[in-house]
Structure 1
Amino acid sequence: MTRAQAVPTVQVDNERVTVTEWRFAPGAETGHHRHGYDYVVVPMTSGPLRLQTPAGEVTSQLVAGQAYYRPAGVEHNVINAHEGECVFVEIEIKRPPADGAAS
């Protein structure tokens, strides 16, 4: 089954951070990807998201305004499992690892 793609809008992109608004129609997905940076997500809407990961599939409940943090290396496909639109803002924190090695 082919799903609609979530729509990203980059709001800020500089050497320190990338801030992206993500909009998901019902059933839309990001496609499988791996996060190269630590990141924070700030949900603008509440509702369930399905996460397809290498370990399996889980459902996560977003709460508008309740931010969460994830470390670099997370791999998943994010799918809107809600009947309405899902919107969140993702802030990727671009910085070299503590040991100074390239990421």
Structure 2
Amino acid sequence: MCSSTGTATATVQIKNERARVTEWRFANRGDNTGWHRHDYDYVVVPLFDGTLEIDLGNGERVTAQMQNGIPYYREFGTEHDVINANDFECAFVEIELLEPKPS
């Protein structure tokens, strides 16, 4: 993921030629990833029950309900800023699939 500077903390846990696993931790309400575009397909595993706000960059903001341990998948090209909409610390694990899709 290529990102502008946000206030959330990104900790790369695994990085090799096939995958990159990053924990994103948001200490406070309003902490954010910074505007970014995903260069790879990815899976997100929330580590909390709560809400994230997604800034889509066109003046539109949506909310996304997260459930602890329930993953979701997105394809490359997604552009957004992810914002903590909770009054508590929250985190998720992002798994980027660095290999191309099989044809």
Q: TM-score, normalization: structure 1?
A: 0.87
1:84 counterpart letter in structure 2: F
Q: CA RMSD in A?
A: 1.4
Unaligned runs of 5+ in 1: none
Matching residue of 2:46? 43
Q: 1:96 Cα shift?
A: 2.6
Displacement of 1:95 in angstroms is: 1.1
Q: CA shift at 1:36, angstroms?
A: 0.2
* Structure 2 CA distance for aligned equivalents of residues 78 and 54 of structure 1: 11
Residue matched to 1:12: 14
Which stretches in structure 2 are left out of the alignment for 5+ residues? Answer: 1-5
Q: Distance in 2 between matches of 1:85 and 1:54?
A: 24
SS at match of 1:8: strand
CA distance in 2: counterparts of 1:13 and 1:72, whole angstroms:
18
Query: Which amino acid is 1:20 matched to?
Result: T
Which structure has the larger Rg over C-alpha atoms?
A: 1
Tell me what 1:23 maps to. 25
- 1:97 CA displacement: 4.9
Runs of 4+ deviating beyond 3 Å: none
Structure 1 residue identity aligned to 2:96 = E
SS in 1 for 2:33: coil
Q: How many residues get paired?
A: 96
